Amino acid sequence: MVLRGISASHGVALGAVYIYRPSDIDAAERFIKSDAVEREKDHYAEVCEIAAGEIRSIHASMAHDKPEKAKIFSTHLDILYDPDIRNEIIEGIEAELWAGSWAIWKAYGKFIEVIEKTKDPVIRERSVDLEDVRKRILRIWHRLPGSNLTSLSAPVIIAARDLLPSDTATLDRRNALAIITETGGASSHSAIIARSYGIPAVVGIPRLLESLRQNGFAAVDALTGEVFPDPDNETQKRLAAKRARYLREAAEIKKFSKRKSATADGMRIDIGLNIGCADDDDLAGATCTDFVGLFRTEFLFMGRKDLPSEDEQFAAYRKVLELYGKRPVTLRTLDIGGDKQLDCMETPKEDNPFLGNRALRLCFAYPGIFKTQLRAALRASVFGNLHLMLPMVGSIDDIRRAKSIIQEVEDDLDCDGIAYNRDFRLGIMIEIPSIAMIADLAAEEVDFASIGTNDLCQYLTAVDRMNPEVSGYYQSFHPAVFRLIGKVAGHFSGAGKQLCVCGEMGGDPFAAAALVGLGLRKLSMGLSSVAQVKRMISRLPILAFEEIARTVQELPTADEVENFLKQILG
């Protein structure tokens, strides 16, 4: 049997399937007879032992590479054996005749409530850990399979109905052979993260979960977008050979990653890195990139119950700025909404979230959150070369409104006598067609811009980037996309302002060739694309790329553009 979906991140994988079903484990109020008390207490002790074993093995797997994350799991062990919580549970079983699961639920709930009420944000954060331990114990109590992607015990192909960006961002990437999902499009944020980690991914596969077995074997061809549940010997052999070939080619291309990027006749093209957070895996690309073209700061806000404090944000921004030194770090302000939702912020449900209160609009609606972020960013600016970038700008009004809030934050910092670099650069993302159409006017208002082709394509072609039903209409090779980018590039270079492309097109070697021809001198991408884009750029002189860009803008359809690029650039 073969299942077909959309190839979202290249590669080939063979291995065991892990069906990920995030479950919200709850407990019902239940009572036991008095002669069952000892049995219930014994079961609680056994469950704790199993939970401790799981936590210890996660801790051991992270202790070397990710000591910071490993610390979280030592805390979980402390919570698991906390005498106060334990006594509360035992008392619930003995005195109230509560079923163990209900006693666990109530006891943890009591402590979570107390902690959530404290003023100290550091202590408040502990409630997330208590929740986590409670979930683990109850899952084991009910003999449910584990469903945590942060700590996979062996290499697996992860199959899910849907993966949230927060699931993918916290994924145990060393054990993720591939990601396959029923929903999502190639430019959903989960797909983007998978691509930046270099994990093969196929998304939008109808009836995927009903066609797979937990722990069954599967092969994934993320070059063609095919998944083979229980493949026969011949398919296994064919795909294993394809995988070996793919890895050989990838190793060959990787040789380009450390080189400076230039066309065959020496025109420098700066290559930037797109990152989601400030952890060491993300920052591994610092040695082979000229700048950070997109720091998706919203990832610092995901997968947690409370908002990151100003100091926490400051530490993350400072880390990246210090690492890059004089090289620019483009810190994009919070871009929440669409497929990126926060647990720590209740926002109203919307019928069209991608057209709704997203990104900068949401920051205007919650100025406190926006200002905290701006303050943290400006404080960090003294440690490097800060480029502050506003997402989802639709008008000059948006820019001016944001500028006046930034001015307020600067005034506050001045008042408080806190240093910041007054020469930080302010830029915008060009991802809404309305601002692209007035790029000449926008260029007068800002120091730089970066084209977000993922959203620009979504809004220009009127296609939801998440919806697999219409993914065929989401055409980043549509000639209209290239024509519009060409116009924006002309206006920015005319105004002497820097322009980058930080959407996924910047990391696609074929699209990148046309973008360089359109006048782009800065492209930013996930680490896994850096080498292949550098190699592509090195192949031809600038005049050849310009010729390619001219043709691309004249061709009538996306297919013809793509075929032309693939044919000429092979």
Type and span of the H or E element at 524 = strand 522-525
At its nearest, how many Å lie between ligand PEP and the CB of residue 139?
Answer: 32
Token reading at 102:
């209900």
Q: Can 189 be counted among the known catalytic residues?
A: yes
500: annotated active-site residue: no
Among 226, 290, 335, 398, binds ligand PEP (CB under 6 A): 335
- Of 184, 104, 132, 55, nearest to 304 by C-alpha is 132
The closest of 460, 402, 463 to 436, measured between CA atoms, is: 460
Residue 391 C-beta: closest distance to Mg ion, Å:
6
Nearer to ligand PEP, 195 or 296 (CB): 296
Decide which of ligand PEP, Mg ion, none touches 381; Cβ closer than 5 to 8 Å per partner kind. Answer: none
Q: In this chain, which stretch among 13-21, 310-318, 371-379, 453-461 interacts with ligand PEP, using CB under 6 A?
A: 453-461
Active-site pick, 59, 76, 189, 491: 189
Q: What is the C-alpha separation between 180 and 175, in angstroms, rounded?
A: 14
* Structure-derived torsion over alpha carbons of residues 397, 398, 404, 409, reported in degrees to the nearest 10: 180
Query: Could you tell me the CA-to-CA distances from 455 to 199, 463, 486 in Å, in that order?
Result: 23, 10, 17
Note the maximum CA span of the chain: 86
Which CA distances in Å does 270 have to 76, 153, 522, 567?
Answer: 44, 39, 5, 26
- When the beta carbons of 135 and 522 are compared against ligand PEP, the nearer one is 522
Place of tokens 């906390």: 82
CA 238 to chain centre: 32
Q: In the range 164-193, which residues lie near ligand PEP by CB under 6 A?
A: 192
Q: Is 452 in the site for ligand PEP (CB under 6 A)?
A: yes
502 makes contact with ligand PEP (CB under 6 A): yes
In angstroms, rounded to a whole number, what is the distance separating the alpha carbons of residues 309 and 314? 8
The site map against ligand PEP for 4-43 (x = CB under 6 A) is ----------------------------------------
- Catalytic residue, chosen from 277, 288, 500, 502, is 502
Q: Decide: is 276 part of the binding site for Mg ion (CB under 5 A).
A: no
According to CB under 6 A, which one of 167, 182, 455, 464 is a site residue for ligand PEP?
455
Does position 455 interact with Mg ion (CB under 5 A)? The reply is: yes
Query: Which burial class, exposed, middle or buried, applies to 530 when counting CB atoms under 10 A from its CB (0-12, 13-18, 19+)?
Result: buried
Cα 402 to Cα 309, 395, 397, distances in angstroms: 21, 11, 8
Stretch that binds ligand PEP, among 28-36, 114-122, 252-260, 447-455 (CB under 6 A): 447-455
Q: Which is nearer to Mg ion, 189 or 379 (CB)?
A: 189
Q: Does 464 bind Mg ion (CB under 5 A)?
A: no
Which of 204, 285, 452, 509 lies at the binding interface for Mg ion (CB under 5 A)?
A: 452
Coil/strand/helix, residue 271: strand
Counting residues that bind Mg ion (by CB under 5 A) gives 3
Binding residues for ligand PEP restricted to 189-228, rule: CB under 6 A: 192
State the minimum distance, in angstroms, from the CB of residue 456 to ligand PEP: 7
**Those residues with Cβ within 8 angstroms of residue 173's Cβ, 6 or more apart along the chain or in another chain:** 197, 199, 281
Q: Does the protein bind Mg ion through residue 427 (CB under 5 A)? A: no
Asked if 460 interacts with ligand PEP (CB under 6 A), we say no
Residues engaged in binding ligand PEP (CB under 6 A) = 192, 294, 296, 335, 431, 452-455, 502-503
For the annotated catalytic residues, the residue numbers are 189, 502
